[in-house]
């Protein structure tokens, strides 16, 4: 019986270490992305807007999701399971901060296609004004779902 308890303890310690490594490297990487994409020179590109917003949401995703998993799995403290409302709020926040950057990346891919198209009409669809509108629609859509 003691060996099973020891294996459970070892598993918990590995989980805590893994989550901490993931949290620290994720926050450093997200902050680096935000710093790089906040340069003035890049802000003229419509693709910048998509990638920058995706990086901001990724920062919140790493910070929120990994922290709550670390508390629940590593320290057996999950404040969101106390009530069903807390659990729903956690699920909603995790959903939004996970899927909004995915939509931003899809829009960035479409924008790269548009700006390299041979058609003038399609190239004109790649603009900062349209990018801002599509970002608003994308984020609003994921917040409403």
Residue 71 DSSP SS3: helix
Question: What is the reported pLDDT for 1?
Answer: 54
**Distance between CA 20 and CA 102 in Å, rounded?**
24
* 106 dihedral zone (left: phi>0; alpha: psi -120 to 50; beta): alpha
**How far does CA 77 lie from the centroid of its chain?**
23
37 CB neighbour count, 10 Å cutoff: 19
**E strand or H helix at 8:** helix 2-37
pLDDT digits (tens, 9 = 90+) for 43-63: 888 999 999 999 999 999 999
Residue 116 DSSP SS3: coil
Go through the chain and tell me how many residues it has.
Answer: 145
Domain at 2-144, CATH class: mainly alpha
**With DSSP H G I counted as helix, E B as strand and the rest as coil, what are the percentages for the chain, rounded to 5?**
90, 0, 10
Question: What is the reported pLDDT for 93?
Answer: 93
Mean pLDDT per block of 10 residues along the chain (145 residues) reads 83 90 95 90 88 95 91 82 87 94 97 95 94 96 92
């Amino acid at each position: 019986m003691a060996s099973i308890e020891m294996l459970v303890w070892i598993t918990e310690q590995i989980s805590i270490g893994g989550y901490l490594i993931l949290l620290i490297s994720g926050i450093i990487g997200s902050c680096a992305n935000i710093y790089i994409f906040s340069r003035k020179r890049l802000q003229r590109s419509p693709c910048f807007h998509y990638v920058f917003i995706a990086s901001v949401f990724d920062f919140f995703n790493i910070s929120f999701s990994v922290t709550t998993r670390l508390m629940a799995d590593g320290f057996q403290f999950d404040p969101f399971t106390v009530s069903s409302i807390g659990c729903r709020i956690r699920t909603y926040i995790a959903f939004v901060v996970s899927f909004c950057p995915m939509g931003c990346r899809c829009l960035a891919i479409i924008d790269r296609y548009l700006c390299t198209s041979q058609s003038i009409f399609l190239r004109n669809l790649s603009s900062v004004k349209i990018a801002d509108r599509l970002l608003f629609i994308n984020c609003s859509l994921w917040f409403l779902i």
